[in-house]
Structure 1
Amino acid sequence: MPDNSSIRQYYLNRLDDTQDGQKPGPKVPLGIGRLIADCFAMLFRKLPIVLVLSFWPSLLGVLLSGSLVGIRYTIGFEDVASGTASGPILLSALVDILVYAVVTALLVRPVHDVKFNRPVRISRDLVPALKSVFPISLLILAQTLMVMLGGLLALFIPGSVLFGIIGFVFIGLFLIAVIWAYAAWSVMPAAVVVEGAGFQGLSRSVALTKGYRWPIVAVIAPVWICSALVVLATAALTGLVESIAGLSAAVVLFAVADAIGTSLVGIIVSILYIRLREIKEGIGVDRVAEVFD
């Protein structure tokens, strides 16, 4: 078996080839239903491992956000206080980005192990995953800022230049563009962790998802909806839990729900990445998994 450095160089060469458009992959079906089914099957089949990896980042995120904007607001008990400055709210949003980056980075390698029927080794995966958190977080922040800038333009132009139905059409087109862009960037975290793509993760994701953006939306949308429903349903129950077992129990319950919801998204990102590598580059999950040895 080749050493780890040669495998990584191989992946970097494939990255350049894919970006230059020299080796386009065959147009084969993505397999929307199978990918969604694999995501939920993996969550339930490996729920203890998923919670071991995702609960503590989620709990720390809830506590940190609670210290910024109030714990009762964070877990859905009440609206943010009217006098709360915008700074803590923005910092709380950054905490959410960091939690997503940590959880997704921690799940990428275990998802590959499960797909390849290999034992999950958390101790082996922990440090490399955490090293990927910084570039993933910055790239997600860059995505968010680009979307926010586009949103400001979408609101400004119809209000100042266009009117009526034309303005609504413009905003609708912007929303479609946001969804398309998210699909284009969707597998960035997995590319950063697996290939060590670093800040090239966005361009790598764009290359891998080319030609499959709308099928990717069809895969991710149901998972995102289920993820949000898990968190919202739990938030509705936290009041009852607090009345029975106290605020601490409600916080833990919310953190568990947040961990499951975030893990769903992290799992589907990893599964999509594996599938796109198979389609675009003819690399099976066994070849992708070699980089972890």
Structure 2
Amino acid sequence: MASIASGRLEKFSIGRVFSNTFSVIGRSFGSLAMIVGLFTALPALIYNFWNFSRIASFGAGGAAGLEQAALANYGITSMIAALVIFVLALLAQAALVRATVEDLNGKRPAIGDCIQVALRSFLPAIGIGIIAFFAIVVAGGVMALFGSLIPFLGWLIGLAIFIAAAIWVLSISVALPVVVQEKQGVFGSIARSRALTKGSRWSIFGLFLAIGIIAMVIQVGFSLIFGLSVASAGGISPVGAVVGAVGSSLVSSIFSTVFSVAIAVTYVELRRVKEGTSVDELAEIFS
């Protein structure tokens, strides 16, 4: 594949990002699948199988049975698993950024190289992830607090704060690609992301909203089918636990792959639109 030509584009294009995202996935499916399988799908599969197996062991008791049998242990294990999955997801996203830029530059992504780049970016990636996470969590807590103290008006004020936090998180959506490609630290990458996304945030919001809606439809469809199967069987059987674990892991892995590649493509698109930077110039950082 020939390298994408350099040159300044008129404006950020959702259609171009969508097209390039699925083109990258199609061309480098094997490499992306290996990265996602190692860092996302396998950990999710292990956790989901454990989770469905635990639920199945309570039989018809369901949630009530869960409360009666080692609820504290279940909660602690789930929190640890969520933390591990969160960290591995950031590593996967960093590796996918490298793979995406390599693909757009006409090269076949090398899995070992992508993982090396992700590991080098580990600490600032974690920092950015924690900052974004706490921004949303704190905003959600403030919204709930205001809503409980001042009925209706408090919810409106809290909602405004939450929306402001969400917009801020959107503005730093390409901070991780900045870490990977430009080797900047946490706060430098956040500032750089805000500068790149300025003027294009509504378009980026539309892009992520579209991906989120597609993912939600797929997730709801799977949940309905699995829920109906469980209901008709009178509970989760051992086979049902396997099907549920594999299905849930597959759905989450597909979404995380599309979302991560889309973020990387968005970063490249923003650099081309705002600075006229070619993909070749981005790749030279690692030469």
TM over 0.5: yes
Amino acid at match of 2:193: S
User: Taking CA–CA contacts closer than 8 Å with sequence separation of 6 or more, which of the two structures ends up with the larger relative contact order?
Assistant: 2
2:90 is aligned to 101
| Distance (whole Å) between structure 2 residues aligned to residue 289 and residue 34 of structure 1 | 20
**1:51 is aligned to 2:45:** no
Deviation at 1:112, TM superposition (A): 0.8
Amino acid at match of 1:282: G
| Distance (whole Å) between structure 2 residues aligned to residue 135 and residue 98 of structure 1 | 12
Q: Is the 8 A contact 2:197 2:270 kept in 1?
A: yes
1:23 is aligned to none
2:51 is aligned to 70
| Distance (whole Å) between structure 1 residues aligned to residue 175 and residue 216 of structure 2 | 21
1:277 is aligned to 271
1:292 is aligned to 286
Cα distance change of structure 1 residues 100 and 232 upon mapping to structure 2, 3 Å threshold = farther
| Distance (whole Å) between structure 2 residues aligned to residue 79 and residue 39 of structure 1 | 40
Amino acid at match of 1:144: F
2:4 is aligned to none
Match of 2:16 among 31, 34, 59: 34
1:127 is aligned to 116
Give the root-mean-square deviation of aligned CA atoms. Answer: 3.3
| Distance (whole Å) between structure 2 residues aligned to residue 289 and residue 44 of structure 1 | 20
| Distance (whole Å) between structure 1 residues aligned to residue 28 and residue 219 of structure 2 | 19
Note the 1:151-170 alignment, pairs <5 A: 151-160=140-149, 162-164=150-152, 166-170=153-157
**1:217 is aligned to 2:199:** no
Match of 1:180 among 135, 158, 167: 167
2:5 is aligned to none
Amino acid at match of 1:70: N
Amino acid at match of 1:104: Q
Q: C-alpha offsets along residues 147-169 of structure 1, whole Å, 9 cap, x if unaligned?
A: 21122122212322x333x2342
Deviation at 1:101, TM superposition (A): 0.4
Q: Which secondary structure state, in structure 2, belongs to the residue aligned with residue 117 of structure 1?
A: coil
Q: Which secondary structure state, in structure 2, belongs to the residue aligned with residue 211 of structure 1?
A: coil
Q: Is the 8 A contact 1:51 1:259 kept in 2?
A: no
Q: Is the 8 A contact 1:105 1:129 kept in 2?
A: yes
Cα distance change of structure 1 residues 263 and 195 upon mapping to structure 2, 3 Å threshold = same
Deviation at 1:238, TM superposition (A): 5.8
Identity of aligned residues (%): 22
| Distance (whole Å) between structure 1 residues aligned to residue 166 and residue 32 of structure 2 | 27
| Distance (whole Å) between structure 2 residues aligned to residue 270 and residue 50 of structure 1 | 13
Gaps in structure 2 of 5+ consecutive residues: 1-7, 231-235
Q: Is the 8 A contact 2:146 2:158 kept in 1?
A: no
Q: Is the 8 A contact 1:65 1:74 kept in 2?
A: no
| Distance (whole Å) between structure 2 residues aligned to residue 45 and residue 237 of structure 1 | 31
Cα distance change of structure 1 residues 103 and 214 upon mapping to structure 2, 3 Å threshold = same
Q: Is the 8 A contact 1:62 1:71 kept in 2?
A: no
2:192 is aligned to 204
Deviation at 1:236, TM superposition (A): 5.0
Cα distance change of structure 1 residues 151 and 74 upon mapping to structure 2, 3 Å threshold = farther
Q: C-alpha offsets along residues 59-117 of structure 1, whole Å, 9 cap, x if unaligned?
A: 342256459x7344799x97693353354443333233223202211111111122122
**1:117 is aligned to 2:106:** yes
| Distance (whole Å) between structure 2 residues aligned to residue 250 and residue 192 of structure 1 | 36
Q: How many residues align structurally?
A: 264
Q: Is the 8 A contact 1:51 1:256 kept in 2?
A: no
